[in-house]
Structure 1
Amino acid sequence: MLTRSKLDNPGRDQVINIRVQQTQRDLIDHAATILGKTRSDFMLEVACREAENVICDNTFFALDEERYQEFMAILDSPPKVDEELRKFLRTKSPWD
């Protein structure tokens, strides 16, 4: 049998608890009210959006045209000869 919370929030089966100051809760509640959202929905939406921003900031980067061309030239150029790497790759693994 589904509980009332399962009906209200399908797919949400995890709980996150957080302690805040009264002023912080009031600020969050005010913003949520302005957007017509519950405190939980507002906090989840904002936290997920910020998490995506953090991940993107560590995944994507922007370059001006000159640096972009330099970067592409490095990617397009053949790798440098590295004798130590070649030696390592030719060495049998201890488990072989």
Structure 2
Amino acid sequence: MPAKAVKIETHPVNLRMRNDTRALIDRAAEIRGKNRSEFMIEAAVAAAQETLLDQTLVLVDRETYDFFLRVLDQPPSGEGFERLMSRTPPWLEE
């Protein structure tokens, strides 16, 4: 039996913006091969997800939290850290 098509409901959103902003968005959308609406929705969804992920609350017990603070208070060290700090940054390499 064929699968039933699911109807996805959409709603219009009207935005007012300056001409230069609209032109900038249109240029970027064209580069991505998208229309203005697709580009703006994609960008808005990414920004919304990032904002929500930044608000994630992690609950731990007191012992775990104290351990976490002790680790943060320790200066970085070890072979990996020494190797990283002795390396020439890529922007200074010739």
Q: Report the TM range for the smaller structure's normalisation.
A: 0.5 to 0.7
Deviation at 1:18, TM superposition (A): 0.4
For 1:49, the equivalent position in structure 2 comes to: 46
Q: 1:24 aligns with which of 21, 44, 48?
A: 21
**Which one-letter code corresponds to 1:32 in the other structure?**
A
**Which one-letter code corresponds to 2:53 in the other structure?**
C
> Aligned residues: percent identity?
35
TM-score normalised over the length of structure 1: 0.52
For 2:67, the equivalent position in structure 1 comes to: 69
Q: Over aligned residues, Cα RMSD in angstroms?
A: 2.5
Deviation at 1:30, TM superposition (A): 0.2
Based on CA coordinates, which of the two structures has the bigger radius of gyration? Answer: 1
Deviation at 1:11, TM superposition (A): 2.1
For 1:58, the equivalent position in structure 2 comes to: 55
Query: What residue ranges of structure 1 are gaps of 5+ in the alignment?
Result: 1-9, 62-66, 72-96
Q: Distance in 1 between matches of 2:50 and 2:66?
A: 22
Query: What residue ranges of structure 2 are gaps of 5+ in the alignment?
Result: 1-6, 59-64, 70-94
